[in-house]
Amino acid sequence: MFFQQIFEEKLAQYAYLIGCQRTGEAIIIDPMRDVDRYKELAMQNNLKLVAAAETHIHADYLSGLRELAEQGLTVYASDEGDKDWKYEWLMGSDYDHKLLKDGDEFSIGNIKFTTVYSPGHTPEHVSYLVTDGAATDEPMGILSGDFVFVGDVGRPDLLESAAGQKGAMKSSAKVLYQSLQRFKEMPEYLQLGRDTEPEVPVVKHWEPCRNQRLDMSSVLTVPSGLQSASRSLWIIFWTDSRNHRSISHA
């Protein structure tokens, strides 16, 4: 499996190119409007960009999802949330697309993506569990968008503080809390990110030590062999605009 983070420094935005080297296909997660860079990066790595997906509707940068749909790529987006949080430009369109509910799956070559409904930051937010079918039947990481970060969680206050939806902050925080309860039940080995200092992969197992917002209470130990095993794996990915830590391919 190919994985690469693409960081846009000026907007503090992250996209993620994930490819199946067996089939030569790749997908871009949370693309920005300038989509050529992703196609070129895929080509440089003997991959063809065939699909794109979003974790949620972005308010802080222009999405490239529609541009890629116009170019004939298959696009994936959330079908969760209420009527005010739908991808109306996709619904009933001729674009090659799939709108996703919790539990829905799609694949790029050997790589399987499983949709996890994770509202709170936005009402329709989804994350994607990523399973490299060439190596395992278990997910190795999660593309969590603005749901969970290394050491933090997404902001549930923006609908009220930035978009003026009165009362949305409290209700969104409660929804986010419920999403986090589900996250806490996910496998401990799930990879969440990578710290730069020291440069080690961050897995869910470690998050309670560092992410007070998860409010986990279990006593933690580092699984034997995890660190070396993780070197050959990857990551998690997030697109938070305020709490970034850089991660890179193992």
Shortest spacing between CB 120 and Fe ion, in angstroms: 11
Residue 67 vs 146, nearer CB to Fe ion: 146
Nearest to 130 by CA among 148, 147, 100, 107: 107
Q: Which span sits near Fe ion by CB under 5 A: 46-54, 79-87, 138-146, 187-195? A: 138-146
- Number of C-alpha atoms within 13 angstroms, CB side, residue 124? 20
- The least CB distance from residue 209 to Fe ion, in Å, is 25
Strand pairing partners for 4? Answer: 17
Q: How far apart (Å, rounded) are the C-alpha atoms in residues 248 and 19?
A: 15
Extended strands (E) in 21-63: 25-29, 48-53
3-state secondary structure 210-245: HCHHHCCCCCCCCCCCHHHHHHCCCCCEECCCCCCC
Name the residue nearer to Fe ion (CB basis): 10 or 224.
10
User: Which residue's Cβ lies closest to Fe ion?
Assistant: 146
Q: Which is nearer to Fe ion, 97 or 125 (CB)?
A: 125
Cα–Cα distances in Å, from 200 out to 9, 38, 169, 236?
Answer: 22, 26, 34, 12
Task: Tell me the closest approach of the beta carbon of residue 145 to Fe ion, in angstroms.
Answer: 7
Start-to-end C-alpha separation, the chain: 11
CB of 45 to Fe ion, least distance (A): 27
* Closer by beta carbon to Fe ion, 63 or else 230: 63
Q: How far out from the chain centre does Cα 247 lie?
A: 13
Residue closer to Fe ion (CB basis): 30 or 67: 30
CB of 132 to Fe ion, least distance (A): 26
Sequence-separated (6 or more) residues with CB below 8 Å from residue 169: 156, 157, 159, 160, 161
How many residues line the site for Fe ion (CB under 5 A)?
1
Alpha-helix residue ranges (DSSP H) falling in 14-129: 36-44, 65-70
Least separation in angstroms between residue 91's CB and Fe ion is 21
No. of helices (H) and no. of strands (E), the chain: 6, 15
Of 142 and 233, which CB lies nearer to Fe ion in the complex structure? Answer: 142
Burial label for 190, CB within 10 Å (0-12, 13-18, 19+), is: buried
Does position 146 bind Fe ion by CB under 5 A? Answer: yes
Single out the segment in contact with Fe ion by CB under 5 A; choices: 87-95, 131-139, 145-153, 209-217: 145-153
110 vs 241, beta carbon nearer Fe ion: 241
Q: Does 79 bind Fe ion (CB under 5 A)?
A: no
Residue 192 CB, shortest distance to Fe ion, in Å, is 17
Q: Which of residues 7-66 bind Fe ion (CB under 5 A)?
A: none
Stretch that binds Fe ion, among 44-52, 92-100, 143-151, 159-167 (CB under 5 A): 143-151
User: What residue ranges bind Fe ion (CB under 5 A)?
Assistant: 146
